[in-house]
Structures are given as structure tokens and as C-alpha cells.
Amino acid sequence: PKEREKTAYHEAGHLIALYILHPTDDVFKASIIPRRGTLGIVHHQPREEVFTYDKNRLLADVKADLAGYVAEKMKFGTTSSGVAMDFKQAMSIAHSMVWKYGMADKSFLGDYTSIPEGQISEKLKEELNEETGKIFQQCLKDVDELLSRERVVIDRFAKELLDKEELDYDEIDAIFKEYGKFGMSKGV
């Protein structure tokens, strides 16, 4: 029961960050039914076909990935190994933003991953990694602020997931509207 509750809060965190912060995707299902090695999942998809991702979308992806961790930590004071894949995805996106896409605060233009290992200085690697860390930490701060404000909504979604195990888009949307919350595409 404790692991199931932790999963419900974890998925509620993802769900809230995706619904409220994501500029291109809608949440269409949340589940705490274990499948294929995961204890829960929040399914989302773009509202329209997208072939390239801008900085806002990538930052929203990082924030959504980190939201399960933040929700677990807020509720239980600690987290679980269930955050490993989320961290991997979030760090990979932040890394690509800096190392490949020129989306750092500093002007690092170019794909630094294409430079052979021995030809990039340690100083430059450190600077690129610092910028990656800044993105990661800013996203973590933003999600922490969001979920702190939305604590009542997190509790509600966790309870709904514990009661029903799965929520579809209409159920998710109705609960957000009940609390006067609207996603990026719904007139925030």
C-alpha cells in the first residue's frame, strides 16, 4: 500500500506539471496499474503534429519529468528509485539543449557532441555541464513552486488514482476545472 501511494503521488506530480505547464501536449490518461516494469504512467501527446521542439517545449518536458520526484519528496520527505528513468530523460534533454541545440544562457552555438572526445577542452566541457546543470536546477525550482501552490490538487489526484487506478482525459480535465485550473492550451 505504501508503494502504491508513493506511485499515485509521483504520477499526480507528472500529471499536474504536464497539464498546467506544457505548451504543446495534453494529458490523455494517468494510471497506477503496473505495466512493463513501471508502477505507473501518465500518457500525453501533442495536440497537433510536431516535428521540431523549441526551447519552451523542451523545458516543459524537463519539468514534467522532474515533477514525479518533487511530488514524492513533498509528500514523503524522500524519494524512491522510481525517479531514475525520469532523471535520465530530464538530464538527457537538458544536456542536448546545451550541447547540441545552442539553448544555453551563454552563447554556445554548435553541436559539441560532434567534436571528437580528445579535441574539446576540459574547461569547455565544464562550462557546458554548468549550463546543463543550470537548466536542470531552474526547472526543478519551477516545478517545486508549482507543486507547492497546487498541493491540494496533488492530494486530490493521488486519491483519485488510488481509488480508480486509471483516469482518462475527461476525468482529469473535470478535476482541474473543478479547481479553476486550465492548461497552456486552455487559457492559463
Write out residues in the chain with pLDDT < 50, as ranges.
Answer: 186-188
Q: In whole angstroms, what is the distance from residue 45 CA to residue 27 CA?
A: 7
Cell readout for 21 is 505547464
Q: In whole angstroms, what is the distance from residue 5 CA to residue 3 CA?
A: 5
165: left (phi over 0), alpha (psi -120 to 50) or beta: left
Taking every pair of Cα atoms in the chain, the longest distance, rounded to a whole number of angstroms, is 56
Q: Can you give the pLDDT at residue 133?
A: 96
Q: In whole angstroms, what is the distance from residue 26 CA to residue 134 CA?
A: 27
Q: Can you give the pLDDT at residue 183?
A: 66
Residue identified by cell 519529468 is: 65
Positions marked active-site: 11
Q: In whole angstroms, what is the distance from residue 95 CA to residue 133 CA?
A: 8
Q: In whole angstroms, what is the distance from residue 63 CA to residue 156 CA?
A: 20
Show the 3-state SS of the chain: CHHHHHHHHHHHHHHHHHHHHCCCEEEEEEECCCECCECCEEEEEECCCCCCCCHHHHHHHHHHHHHHHHHHHHHHCCCCHHHHHHHHHHHHHHHHHHHCCCCCCCCCCCCHHHCCHHHCCHHHHHHHHHHHHHHHHHHHHHHHHHHHHCHHHHHHHHHHHHHHCEEEHHHHHHHHHHCCCCCHHHCC
Q: Can you give the pLDDT at residue 151?
A: 96
